[in-house]
Structure 1
Amino acid sequence: MSWTDERVETLKKMWGEGQSASQIAKELGGVTRNAVIGKVHRLGLSNRGAAAAPAAAKPEAKAKPAPKAEAKPAAPAKPAEPEPAPQETPEPP
């Protein structure tokens, strides 16, 4: 079996419609599900939404975010200050 232009167009059409690789293989005849999957990848059709777009026309992948900066070590805890002694109030005479 060879991939003729007609068979490739059928594959593209069915793939774009959301048909499974098994369904496409059955429709084309003389080809396995794995052969259909391989051809889909070689044609750059792996995204169902962009069935007719060539691989070169795919949008570029988003840039990875910069790695997070390492956390700074916490400042050392200040020693607790002693509480002031209670003031004595003078007793009334």
Structure 2
Amino acid sequence: MSWTDERVETLKKMWGEGQSASQIAKELGGVTRNAVIGKVHRLGLSNRTGGGGTTPAPQAKAAPEPELRQAPKPARKDEPKAAPA
């Protein structure tokens, strides 16, 4: 099997519609799912624009930055200590 212009156009169309690699391979006939995936990557079609397929995983939120705290200042020798309450 060779990738004719017609088969490549069918691949592009179906990929853009969100069809799976398995569905495209079945429609084209004579190619495997992996052959379709390889061709998609060689054509630079890995980013889909159409619907269908699964929903993307939610983006993980960045961990909040820890608060920066200043170390307590050491007591000065000439400063009186606070009286206990």
Instruction: Give the TM-score range, shorter chain.
Output: 0.5 to 0.7
Question: Structure 2 vs 1, CA of residues 18 and 30 (structure 1 numbering), >3 Å: closer, same or farther?
Answer: same
Alignment of 1:38-49 (within 5 A): 38-49=38-49
Deviation per residue, 1:16-69 (Å, 9 max, x gap) = 00000000000000000000000000000000018xxxxxxxxxxxxxxxxxxx
For the pair 1:15 / 2:11, whether they are aligned, the reply is: no
What number of residue pairs does the alignment pair up? 63
Percent identity over the alignment is: 81
Letter in 2 for 1:42: R
* CA positional deviation for 1:77: 2.5
* CA positional deviation for 1:76: 6.0
Higher relative contact order (CA 8 A, sep 6+): 2
Question: Structure 2 vs 1, CA of residues 81 and 28 (structure 1 numbering), >3 Å: closer, same or farther?
Answer: farther
Q: Normalized against structure 2, the TM-score is what?
A: 0.64
Letter in 2 for 1:77: K
RMSD over aligned CA atoms reads 2.5
Letter in 2 for 1:82: K
Runs of 4+ in structure 1 deviating by more than 6 angstroms, as ranges, are: none
State how far apart, in whole Å, the 2-side matches of 1:81 and 1:39 are. Answer: 79
Letter in 1 for 2:25: A
Deviation per residue, 1:59-90 (Å, 9 max, x gap) = xxxxxxxxxxxxx9x55622174137xxxxxx
